[in-house]
Amino acid sequence: MNSQQIHLASRPAGTPTADNFTLQTIPLPELKEGEILVKNTWMSVDPYMRGRMIDRKSYVPPFQIGEALEGGAIGEVIQSNHPDFPVGSKVSSMLGWRTHYIGDGTGLTRLPETTLPDQSFLGIMGMPGMTAWTGLFRIADLQPSDTVFISAASGAVGSIACQIAKMHGCTVIGSVGSQEKAEYLRSLGVDAVINYKEATNLTEALAEAAPQGIDVYFENVGGEHLEAALNNMNDYGRIAVCGLISQYNATEPQPGPSNLSMLIIKKLKMQGFIVFDHWAHYGEYANQMGQWIAEGKVKWEETVFEGIEQAPRAFIGLFEGKNKGKMLVKL
């Protein structure tokens, strides 16, 4: 049995290109006792993976050149020498970017019995959904009376954050980069949408969209978005810093916001987080979101590329705004 895998060929300088990746075919050994062979059916590409392509100390070690990339994946057990993972079981893992792998169960989670599509565990029922919920409730202490600004609002995390905040009773403003995405956001019930590519002044656009000011900013973007949010925050506002996608491909250090004095003037809290630190609370999230889905209260979109060889293109597409909702690769 062979596994097709995407390896990191070289570290990207700026926006990743196809050259930074190679497709390798690796023979897999025979299964030993206690092992299983998994065929991946879906894999996730996420903006945070860009950070792991840089050779630096971080919360997860950097990807190594000449080795397979990693990331969320859903697969099916096709051979088993392990009683807990019979053939036909579906498992989620961090062993994406490959068609097959052998495991002994470590780091694998069997999908629960649900009527949800498997790939939802890479999106709304998985890391992106849990990220949205964690940022809003565990970092920003979301209250029903809050006005919430969410950047990259049509993405995997943003589109779920918008809906959770609406269900909690909040007024929600989202920013997106196209009219099509703006329409999508309106279809989710968001109160006001900013197309940042058409706004000449993001501070003014946000002031117009939220004349009452912003209590919570769910930060996915950085740069001008953060500056505009700081200018429009209300006293005691909270900023959950989830991502800074505008910075990820920068080849030179990007200056930060010139208005950090707003932190003092408005007594703001700004806090970065990594969802994996909060994973002990996943059950709480999954129960709540499962119920919202059963009640028909949430929607989600997927942008799907097909075939392992398309994975680099899907990943690069994240930085070109090619996805609406969760970007996935079907294997």
The residues that touch a second copy, with contacts defined as CB under 8 A, are: 51, 58-59, 222, 226, 235, 241-244, 247, 253-274, 277
Task: Please identify, using beta-carbon distances, which residue of 51 and 290 lies nearer to a second copy.
Answer: 51
Task: Please identify, using beta-carbon distances, which residue of 48 and 282 lies nearer to a second copy.
Answer: 48
CB of 284 to a second copy, least distance (A): 20
CB neighbour list of residue 143: distance below 8 Å, 6 or more residues apart: 170, 215
**Contact (CB, 8 A) for 114 and 138:** no
**Contact (CB, 8 A) for 125 and 286:** yes
Q: Angle 156-167/179-187 helices, nearest 10 degrees?
A: 30
Residue 283 phi/psi, 5° resolution? Answer: -60, -40
CB of 125 to a second copy, least distance (A): 23
Total residue count of the chain as it appears in this document = 331
| Cα–Cα separations (whole angstroms), residue 251 to 118, 277, 317 | 37, 29, 18
CB of 223 to a second copy, least distance (A): 10
Task: Please identify, using beta-carbon distances, which residue of 31 and 274 lies nearer to a second copy.
Answer: 274
CB of 39 to a second copy, least distance (A): 34
Q: How far apart are CA 166 and CA 299, in angstroms?
A: 12
Task: Please identify, using beta-carbon distances, which residue of 21 and 133 lies nearer to a second copy.
Answer: 133
CB of 237 to a second copy, least distance (A): 10
Q: How far apart are CA 330 and CA 311, in angstroms?
A: 9
CB of 33 to a second copy, least distance (A): 39
**Contact (CB, 8 A) for 236 and 266:** yes
The string over 172-208, giving b where at least 16 C-beta atoms fall within 10 Å of a residue's C-beta and e elsewhere, is: bbbbbbeeebbebbeebebbbbbbbeebeebbebbee
Task: Please identify, using beta-carbon distances, which residue of 6 and 262 lies nearer to a second copy.
Answer: 262
Task: Please identify, using beta-carbon distances, which residue of 216 and 293 lies nearer to a second copy.
Answer: 216
Task: Please identify, using beta-carbon distances, which residue of 145 and 254 lies nearer to a second copy.
Answer: 254
CB of 175 to a second copy, least distance (A): 18
192-195 vs 171-176, strand pairing mode: parallel
